[in-house]
Amino acid sequence: MRATTDGSTGALPPRAPSAGETTAGKSGTTEDGRSAAAPDPEAAAERAVGRATAHLLSRQDSAGWWKGDLETNVTMDAEDLLLRQFLGIQDPELTEAAARFIRGEQRGDGTWATFYGGPGDLSTTIEAYVALRLAGDAPDAPHLAKASAWIRERGGIAASRVFTRIWLALFGWWKWEDLPELPPELIYFPKWFPLNIYDFGCWARQTIVALTIVSAKRPVRPAPFALDELHTVPPVAHHHPYRKALRALFDRKPRPPRPLAPVTSWDGVFQRLDKALHAYHRVASRTLRGAAMRSAARWIIERQENDGCWGGIQPPAVYSVIALHLLGYDLDHPVLRAGLESLDRFAVWREDGARMIEACQSPVWDTCLATIALADAGLPADHPQLVKAADWMLAEQIDRPGDWTVRKPQLPSGGWAFEFENDNYPDIDDTAEVVLALRRVAHPDPRRVDAAVRRAVRWSVGMRSRNGAWGAFDADNTSPFPNRLPFCDFGEVIDPPSADVTAHVVEMLADVGRTHDPVTRRAVDWLLAEQEPSGAWFGRWGTNYLYGTGSVLPALAAAGIPGSHPAVRRAVGWLEQVQNDDGGWGEDQRSYQDKERWAGRGASTASQTGWALMALLAAGERDSDAVRRGVRWLAGTQRADGSWDEPYFTGTGFPWDFSINYHLYRQVFPLTALGRYVNGGPTVSTQGA
């Protein structure tokens, strides 16, 4: 029995056909087990490739890039409204547009989830509720009353994550002293000292430096309303004559202290460290603290990108604006003005007038994946749109140092970032895929491409960790301490090597002729050692075992591992085992929490079916029944315009905690898989293991 996408157990319900989907193949079977009415997979694939190629070409920007919407959850939209409330820059039109989007994402049980079809999430529901209150929705309105009742049943505000309570503390809805302490003096920790800022992953580092200032300042703006109804105690009616007295009594009531873990455990050590930091907050030298906050501010300003954002992602930008504003930077200051303008560029306006905030934007990633998909689909290598894409990618190569030089100070630059503007944080994953894309294009200036590829390969090789594998942004970002801080209760805050990133680098190294390089062979050995007992590989940046396996098998094939290798056979067996009855593949985000029930399980999606097919094709399984069924599923679910529909979230920011629906994934990965099926793709080596 498989688990359903709504969390109940039992067989997956029949999947409703997508727009343009056929039901061919469901009446009778031939002697080989195929459906009598099923279309020939090769002919169906060729037709699908033609339609998908035309559709993807039509979506290219005139500048040469592709970018699909990057959908996460409504905390982005809620926090945007809270920021505007804190700064006093509310805009009625923006508020209503955000509220329209947030209301539209509420589920029937009154909650908001972090991914499509997922369970209600307490912190997300609290933030969405508060945002709608800011937009003028009444607390006794049916949709908010249902949400507040659900929130209380699950522990109320007190049970929410730290980041949610920080937002509430900004308005006095939570007490600063009841939050974990994060001192700005952290900025002075040397690079070799535990818990220095470079022990954190780059996304966490940018956020934490800003929050040290906020934590030290402990600001409180007047709250526009009370949130009594989100506490587990019975709410006090707003018209109650003794409301203020009752609330004051509740606020003075001491909360039971959290039981301390044994001092011999790491949890116990860090709980006591937090208590010590709270005590330090009361006695900290004003001179030292002021100097630390000024140093943190300089660090923040030095990392502001040319377009005003920080790291190309929304959360650090929001907290950096708040931190600098608390230090006296007014909203007309060039730094803050540029920062606020950059936040507006994260907004996606929908046809119904709703406004969705992207956590970040993915043009480099989308462009290199689209280029690979079109090239593998058979588009001529010198096609003008591929050349234009290559020109845009070449112009985006980063030639300046960033935070990665802290651990690799002598390494010349040469990577690519994920976003439009993020020169301080190029990443290994984008760099590997851009190289693979550029080498598929017949550019009129091949020497320019070759020079860019050489710089990229040199940088990527130099960024490997001591174990021979690669993380996304930094080398050896593996300290065990940051994740244990009481402050860090949401998402991954370090950047250790992962199978998916390492696989993409291996594939790149093989593509440039370094198959037998010791660096490549050591990485292959690491990948083989990381294989799960099931035969799959864990996916750090995509959901999940389907993504990891779909990344690793093409890399192993490119590196000369034959299809007969035991690791490859185990992976093929796993993919065949988890294929859905409809012929597609899918995996729910819950596999990050419950591997036994959810690994490789979920409603079929276009992107995940693409990953599975890419893996099977690389393993030499082109003529297998599993591949034929997967190809038919993709061809049958393609819409009339050549696209695929995919409401499910198949991308990963933080495993389980932060899920992503990359809207271009549903186009590029099916096209890549079908193109390789039609035209040939990564082939298995004839050499021995």
Structure tokens at 622: 């082109």
Q: String of b and e for 559-594 (b: at least 16 CB within 10 Å)?
A: bbbbbebebbebbbebbbebbbebbbbbbbbbbbee
Closest listed residue to residue 176, CA positions, set 210, 214, 207? 214
Q: How big is the CA angle at 517 (ends 515 and 521), to the nearest 5 degrees?
A: 75
Q: Tally Cβ neighbours within 10 Å of residue 158.
A: 12
Q: Hey, which bits of 183-308 come out as E strands?
A: none
Residue 131 tokens read as 């945002």
User: How many helices and strands (H and E) does the chain possess?
Assistant: 24, 5
d(CA 368, CA 363) in angstroms, rounded, equals 9
- Number of Cα atoms under 13 Å in the Cβ half of residue 544: 24
- Partnered with residue 542 across adjacent β-strands are 651
> Which residue is catalytic, options 77, 228, 423, 429?
429
- Is-contact 523 466, C-beta < 8 A? no
Tokens of 257: 């202290």
Q: 299: exposed, middle or buried (C-beta count within 10 Å: 0-12, 13-18, 19+)?
A: middle
Coil, strand or helix: which one is 662?
Answer: strand
Joined tokens for residue 582:
């409809």
> Could you tell me the CA-to-CA distances from 193 to 111, 186, 403, 524 in Å, in that order?
42, 10, 17, 32
Cβ distance 477 to 199 under 8 Å? Answer: yes
Annotated catalytic, 429?
Answer: yes
- Per-residue tokens: 389: 């894409």
Relative to beta strand 658-662, strand 355-357 is unpaired
Which is nearest to 169 in space by CA: 86, 272, 45, 289?
A: 86
Angle at which helix 606-618 crosses helix 545-558, to 10 degrees, equals 30
Give the C-alpha distances (Å, rounded to integers) separating 568 from 110, 224, 434, 502, 612.
45, 60, 26, 17, 13
Active site residues: 429
